[in-house]
Structure 1
Amino acid sequence: MTTSSTAVIDSPTELEVVAGVDTHADTHYVAVLSATGARLGNLQVPARTEGYEQLLAFIRSFGSTRLVGIEGTSSYGAGRARYLMSQGVDIREVVRPRRAQRRHGKSDPIDAYAASAQALAEPETLPMAKTGAGIIEQIRVLLGVRRSAIKARVAVIRQIRSMLITAPEAIRSRWEGLNERCLVESLASTRPGRATDLVTTATGHALRRLARRHQFLTVEITELEDELRILVGRAAPAMIVTKGYGVITTATLLVTAGANPDRLRSEGSFAALCGASPIPASSGRTNRHRLNRGGDRQANWALHQIALVRLSNDERTRGYAGRLRANGKSKKDVLRYLKRAIARAQMELEI
């Protein structure tokens, strides 16, 4: 079911219009403005293919489409953004307003009109949406699964260590002092007896199950990394053979850039996206910059890992870092300079 409110206009085909879309799990709300900011109409449609078609037809009924601003192009608005891109519509990612900025209240029509107004007023500053397709999307979904598997495996080994602290003395003394690999392998191969007999056997069963879960997650992570290695080799062969770049760091940076890196206007915009751009922190006689704590933190982690590897193995990087330290830069400053330089080189490798 759809709901709409439409203004009466003359000769709609002569107009150039801008639209904004407020996205939700089940429905999307679109609002259309003229190039002068006049409200032309709004419509609610279902978040399905027929709704996408209906939304685009509604926008085009007012005239030629200059731009569409969408909230959440990487979440609820992902399907909508992909459909509109396939129809040749220029898309921008609209930033949700802060609560303090919602002086006129909040509703789907209000949010949709706010998105369209933002797209009309700031077309050059709003980021272009990712396409969410192709090999980069394959890398993104596999990388996300690997990340959750890593977290689950860390949680498992922590639970094993915690359980051993409170385990019966016979169990605690038996497995004391083993490293993670030996501990997991040893626990996975035990045969503690029936779990319902004693506390000791129940604890042994629990530890064996946790160890086998750890092993299962390790196999899953290894398989994911093998698949990612193939995909990354296809997507960015020049990057993966560059010193300091590993499979996971390269995959992370590729996902951050997206399948359409041309949406990044400069290497400076990519550095800002990765949280590697310098932030002024000057006051009075102090003139300096500090680390950027914004941006994509996973991408920032990837740049940090690459910088550490190069500091360990690359003579040119060591020389560069040495010159910075000689000029009075701190260790944090050196890493900031290195991450910024790596982000610049990243764009030169045509991610």
Structure 2
Amino acid sequence: MTTPVVEVTESAAALDVVAGVDTHADSHHVAVLDMAGRKLGDRQIPTTTAGYESLRSYLESFGHVRLVGIEGTSSYGAGLARYLRSHHVDIREIIRPRRSQRRRGKSDPIDAYAAAQQALAEPESLPQAKTGDGIVEQIRVLLTVRRSAVKARVAVVRQIKSLLVTASEAIKTQWDRSSEHQAIAKLAATRPGAPTASVDAATGHALRRLARRHRYLTGEIEELDEDLRELVATAAPAMIATKGYGVIATATLLVTAGSNPERLRSEASFAALCGASPIPASSGKTHRFRLNRGGDRQANWALHQIALVRLSSDQRTKQYSARLRANGKSTKDVLRCLKRAIAREAFHLLVHPAPVLATDDLRDLRHRRGVTLVRAAKSIGAEPSRLSELERGRRPNAELATAYRAWLTAA
């Protein structure tokens, strides 16, 4: 369905327009408004390069395109968003309306015009879309594969334990006192015989297959971890070098922020995006805040992991936690406060990263001083393996690197 173009008095060359796009897998529907909110026309286009070119030509036929609002720039609208951005068209992410707000029904033209009206009415409040390219996009696709592999490995462990619960005593007693790692390694090496011989043979055969699947998934996860470590060290060296930020947590926060973190207006907006901002819930004489259960839950998980690491190994975090507990805060309250503080820090590490000190000279400094890794680690209170990783640049840590350098260069 195409709405006929409304006659306007302004010439097309002088007319500013905004557009809205309702996205789908095989086709998009675009609607155009002028700056007074008048409907100029709408059209359906296929999700191909030719279709995107047709859409841009259609928009420019009305005049200067001020803004395009697109639903789902990270899903069905990703291709269109990349195309328009490459042609320097300003785009915004349209928030899909709730069902209760659809008083006029639902169809592709209705949704497209609603997106255009939202882009016209709220251009500054709409979020900028992620660019969906560059090294962060590489991290996103690898992280997606890793999550599915981890989920599959957890399912394998669950299935092994379930089979062992119902297995015969002859099989069960073999693995009663073995750790999970030992049991899986031994199960993968068993030779239970043909699965058609008996119930025990079929059970042993199933356990061996599951153990070998676990071993394969573990190898896949380790390979992905190495690739992610290299990409994350390139994309966010300042963040990965900060205490508590592991490879997966850093990768998760990078994906949440996107390839263009400057689109985030403030550290408060990033905290809200991560679901770490307290929400006011005051009424009358009651003044309180409640937990934010929205936002990106993967990013919230990453902040939680960083908070747990710092609570166990960072002295400043321990002191901060003690002050909060002295004021009557519970463990959950402490973690919420920590996640909010970490979100503030992560925002600045993403948007305004500080230069990272080089660590490739630490090994030469140690050799010139004539000390072993064991002695150096004992002197500064670290593990030898951790210093070795620091010297090789595998696990950056700005705080540890500063302390190590100070000890190596001390008179």
Shorter-chain TM-score category?
over 0.9
Task: Please say which of residues 281-290 and 239-248 is displaced more in the overlay.
Answer: 281-290
- The question of whether the paired residues in 1 share the 8 Å contact of 2:2 and 2:41 is answered with no
Task: Please say which of residues 185-194 and 278-287 is displaced more in the overlay.
Answer: 278-287
Q: How many residues align?
A: 350
Structure 1 partner of 2:124:
124
Alignment of 1:183-194 (within 5 A): 183-194=183-194
Task: Please say which of residues 278-287 and 334-343 is displaced more in the overlay.
Answer: 278-287
Alignment of 1:137-152 (within 5 A): 137-152=137-152
Deviations 1:195-226 (A, max 9, x none): 12211111111111011000000000000000
Q: Does 1:41 align with 2:36?
A: no
Task: Please say which of residues 173-182 and 28-37 is displaced more in the overlay.
Answer: 173-182
1:284 to partner: Cα distance: 4.2
Structure 2 partner of 1:265:
265
SS in 2 for 1:206: helix
The one-letter code matched in structure 1 to 2:258 is G
Distance 2:50 2:7 in 1: 25
SS in 2 for 1:70: strand
- The question of whether the paired residues in 1 share the 8 Å contact of 2:249 and 2:302 is answered with yes
Structure 1 partner of 2:368:
none
Distance 1:4 1:85 in 2: 26
Structure 1 partner of 2:197:
197
1:152 to partner: Cα distance: 0.4
Distance 2:92 2:244 in 1: 34
- The question of whether the paired residues in 1 share the 8 Å contact of 2:175 and 2:183 is answered with yes
Alignment of 1:217-236 (within 5 A): 217-236=217-236
- The question of whether the paired residues in 1 share the 8 Å contact of 2:31 and 2:112 is answered with yes
Structure with the greater alpha carbon radius of gyration: 2
SS in 2 for 1:128: coil
- Scaled by the length of structure 1, what TM-score is found? 0.97
Distance 1:331 1:161 in 2: 32
Deviations 1:118-154 (A, max 9, x none): 1111111111100000000000000010001000000
Distance 1:205 1:4 in 2: 65
The one-letter code matched in structure 2 to 1:246 is G
The one-letter code matched in structure 1 to 2:58 is F
Structure 1 partner of 2:163:
163
Give structure 1 stretches of 5+ with no counterpart.
Answer: none
Structure 1 partner of 2:317:
317
Deviations 1:268-290 (A, max 9, x none): 11010000111113344432222
Structure 2 partner of 1:237:
237
1:92 to partner: Cα distance: 0.7
The one-letter code matched in structure 2 to 1:35 is M
Give structure 2 stretches of 5+ with no counterpart.
Answer: 352-411
Distance 2:295 2:44 in 1: 32
**Cα distance change on mapping 1:5 and 1:204 into 2, 3 Å:** farther
Task: Please say which of residues 257-266 and 332-341 is displaced more in the overlay.
Answer: 332-341
Deviations 1:227-256 (A, max 9, x none): 000000000001111001000000000000
Distance 1:108 1:307 in 2: 45
SS in 2 for 1:8: coil
- The question of whether the paired residues in 2 share the 8 Å contact of 1:3 and 1:45 is answered with no
1:304 to partner: Cα distance: 0.8
1:3 to partner: Cα distance: 5.4
Alignment of 1:1-351 (within 5 A): 5-10=4-9, 11-351=11-351
1:346 to partner: Cα distance: 1.2
Distance 2:157 2:177 in 1: 14
Distance 1:189 1:5 in 2: 71
1:333 to partner: Cα distance: 2.0
- The question of whether the paired residues in 2 share the 8 Å contact of 1:290 and 1:333 is answered with no
**Cα distance change on mapping 1:207 and 1:5 into 2, 3 Å:** farther
- The question of whether the paired residues in 1 share the 8 Å contact of 2:20 and 2:70 is answered with yes
Distance 1:288 1:178 in 2: 50
1:328 to partner: Cα distance: 2.4
The one-letter code matched in structure 1 to 2:124 is E
**Cα distance change on mapping 1:327 and 1:112 into 2, 3 Å:** same
Q: Aligned Cα RMSD in Å?
A: 1.3
1:169 to partner: Cα distance: 2.5
- The question of whether the paired residues in 2 share the 8 Å contact of 1:228 and 1:251 is answered with yes
- The question of whether the paired residues in 2 share the 8 Å contact of 1:146 and 1:221 is answered with yes
- The question of whether the paired residues in 2 share the 8 Å contact of 1:17 and 1:34 is answered with yes
Distance 1:85 1:341 in 2: 34
Deviations 1:81-107 (A, max 9, x none): 111111111111111111111111111
Identity %: 70
SS in 1 for 2:350: coil
